[in-house]
Amino acid sequence: MFRADAELCDHAVDLCQRLLRIDTTNPPGNERVAVELCAEELRTAGLEPVVLESAPGRGNVVARLRGTGERAPLLLTAHLDVVEADASKWKYPPFSGQIAEGCLWGRGAIDMKNHAAMSIALMSRLAREGRRLDRDLIFAGVADEEAGCEQGSGWLVDHHPELVRAEYAIGEGGGFNIELGGKRFFTIQVAEKGFCWVRARAHGEPGHGSMPREDSAILKLARALTRLGERGLPAHRTEIVSEFLASLATAQPRLLKPALGAALESGLLQRIVRLVPNPSIARPMAAMFANTAAPTVLRAGSKTNVIPGVAEAELDGRTLPGQTDDDLLRELRSVLGPEVELEVMRSQPPVETRPSSSALYDAMRDVLAAREPDARAVPYMIPGFTDAKSFTRLGARWYGFSPVRLPHGMRFADMFHGHDERIPVDGLRWGTEVLTEVVMRFAGGG
């Protein structure tokens, strides 16, 4: 079987570095420059990439390595935009692509120019060697994921579905290792929450600021939001979270197993998680057990001496697999009370690959098991959203698997949108080897 050699890994590292040196902070994105670089790489390898602009400067690139057509296509996809970086907080400049301390530094190093680089290096090599897999291999480098996918994957799926329709897709959301109770786990993302952004509005009698009133719109809204912050929303049991916890439990000491099972049944875990002292562990865990709604925008009044008649908040709501916008609204109403009106501003349903197992999942699990015998693959759900929201609309079964191996003490969650985002160079090379092996096992044919 074809495997990634040193040259292929070198290519991935070099391309990742060059992509990191292009500032694609969204907004405004300006992904076009990064797209041109990707297209040039693919073209040099003999492929015929298509560059498509959804708006001026908002580039997307799609390329296809034709297979024998025996089976349906596999899509490798990465967004090329990044979130902003405050250079004053970084050890090395965020768009320097510096290699130092064993790492490649830069905004996008793990989210997710690494995946674009690995995918392009692999496809280019396969194309150069004239290899034909038994599926078409498609690469889509897209704009605008960080601001909701409208100019990127959403636009591609709406306007050029024939270019990106695939049976399976591999994008971001998993592939990194986490540590729990001294054990290592590699995540394979099989689900992500939906989002449901809600406007909450309270009305009250307007009046003069010199005569405060209990029933002012601002106080009504403030009381309701305080209740939301204190109580949160109720726990729900979902299959994916149960599978995730069951996988964790099998690697944990015997005593813990029954306790985990019992806690899961009773919804007790949600309460236990609130007691976890480390918030960077507790917050994502808590988000796995419930729909959530975080107040993110507040709006009321414009003059210091006038009590306004209306106060509004925007809530960033997130729904678990199996839950709908209506479920979330019902839960919100019961916490916020009858005095607050709710209106959905924008929403998209959760994504879940069911069943989570498949030949592709098995390939990921087996490759990991062979290479990292002490670690275990776990099916994983993320609270945020990815381009899965778009590509699954065309029927793709999605796996978030952008493989990277992080050393002990380096946490994916800390670097994701954080200061000092970086990827260990050997972790990126390892990821290139793993991705190559997974693709070849799954689509390599005999």
- Binding residues (CB under 5 A) for Zn ion: these are 111-112, 172
Give phi and psi for 257, each to the nearest 5: -55, -55
Residue 275 CB, nearest distance to Zn ion (Å)?
30
Neighbours of 360 (CB within 10 A): 23
- Nearest CA to 423 out of 61, 78, 107, 77 is that of 107
Between 112 and 178, name the residue whose CB sits nearer to Zn ion. 112
**How do strand 292-300 and strand 194-203 relate by DSSP bridges?**
unpaired
**Does the CA dihedral 192-193-196-200 come out positive or negative?**
negative
Between 118 and 245, name the residue whose CB sits nearer to Zn ion. 118
Between 194 and 204, name the residue whose CB sits nearer to Zn ion. 194
Residue 19 CB, nearest distance to Zn ion (Å)?
14
Between 12 and 375, name the residue whose CB sits nearer to Zn ion. 12
Between 45 and 109, name the residue whose CB sits nearer to Zn ion. 109
Please give the Cα distance from 1 to 70 (Å, whole number): 18
Residue 41 CB, nearest distance to Zn ion (Å)?
21
Residue 203 CB, nearest distance to Zn ion (Å)?
39
Residue nearest to Zn ion (CB): 111
Do the Cβ atoms of 172 and 80 come closer than 8 Å? Answer: no
Residue 387 CB, nearest distance to Zn ion (Å)?
8
Residue 394 CB, nearest distance to Zn ion (Å)?
20
- Per DSSP, what are the bridge partners of residue 400? 171, 189
Residue 176 CB, nearest distance to Zn ion (Å)?
12
Strand segments (E) across 193-334: 194-203, 207-208, 292-300, 306-307, 310-319
b/e for 36-62, b at 16 or more Cβ within 10 A? ebbbebbeebebebeebebeeebbbbb
Between 54 and 323, name the residue whose CB sits nearer to Zn ion. 54
Residue 146 CB, nearest distance to Zn ion (Å)?
7
Between 172 and 437, name the residue whose CB sits nearer to Zn ion. 172
Between 111 and 331, name the residue whose CB sits nearer to Zn ion. 111
CA 201 → CA 10, 90, 296, 312, 335, distances in Å?
55, 39, 14, 4, 14
Please give the Cα distance from 6 to 97 (Å, whole number): 20
Residue 386 CB, nearest distance to Zn ion (Å)?
6
Q: Going by C-beta distance under 8 Å and a sequence separation of 6 or more, which residues neighbour residue 185?
A: 177, 178, 179, 247, 248, 251, 375, 376, 377, 378
- Nearest CA to 228 out of 319, 343, 336 is that of 336
- Per DSSP, what are the bridge partners of residue 105? 422
Between 23 and 372, name the residue whose CB sits nearer to Zn ion. 23
